[in-house]
Amino acid sequence: MDIRFDLFENELATRFAKRFAGAALVIQDSPLPKATQELVSLRASQINGCGHCIDMHVKEAAAAGESAVRLHLVAAWRESTVFTEAEQAALALTEEGTRLADASHGVSDETWALVRKHYDDDQTAALVSLVALINAANRLGVITRRKGGSYEAGMFATALKS
């Protein structure tokens, strides 16, 4: 299957993408740990089946020094010993915030309490915003059938400069 619509070749979509990228920069520059940002983005992308975003976040995380073991275990983080309690809280929030239609409770009070235990206000704001943003990015990728495999680490940062 080919890409349905190239958002980077449409003027309106390009204007939107620049603003979307600006929001992503706010989160990237936040005090939320970079490793957590990539793990959260990867997990939401796995749930949503966005090959392009999975490709991007695996490669960005690996380029930043994330271990292959941790990247491989993100999908099974509950059955793994390689994630900190704070990362587990972020991954739980990611799953519950991504699967809103699958659960009547949305984000549980238990998960929220764990997030607040491990993250200050700015980190929590960044984490909640990141979950929302990556879900939007996943939808853009899946709807337009943007495929994974060709992303190279650093491409996103390079595109933002142009």
Note the pLDDT tens digit of each residue in 59-116.
Answer: 999 999 999 999 999 999 999 999 999 999 999 999 999 999 887 789 999 999 999 9
Helices (H), the chain: 11-28, 34-48, 51-63, 68-73, 85-98, 109-118, 121-144, 155-161
Model confidence, pTM: 0.93
